[in-house]
Amino acid sequence: MGKVKANMALVSALKAWDIDHVYGIPGDSIDAVVDGLKVAENDIDFIHVRHEEVASLAAAAYTKLTGKIAVSLAIGGPGAI
């Protein structure tokens, strides 16, 4: 088996867990993850939000309304939760 990059391993795990919505803001520390999500855009929707808190609230709302798990991505910095 060949080497798998960490971002693609995370995307594979999200697919395995049937997660199809990820909310967040791209940033230096998670750009590789966002790139992996772009590769999987037919399976996982990355929703770009304007604030880290909104990402968490949107993911929580999606989960409450649909019963499916959603993910929030944030960078470590001002405004990060």
Residue 41: what residue type? E
Average pLDDT, the chain: 90
10-24 per-position pLDDT tens digit: 999 999 999 999 999
Strand partners, 47: 23
What average pLDDT does range 42-47 have in this prediction? 92
Closest-CA residue to 72 (of 23, 25, 37): 23
Quick one: pLDDT at residue 2? 79
CATH number of 6-73: 3.40.50.970
CB 25 within 8 A of CB 47: no
Quick one: pLDDT at residue 80? 53
Strand partners, 21: 45
CB 48 within 8 A of CB 26: yes
**Every domain of the chain and the residues it spans:** 6-73
Closest-CA residue to 44 (of 28, 29, 62): 62
52-72 per-position pLDDT tens digit: 899 999 999 999 999 999 999
Quick one: pLDDT at residue 79? 57
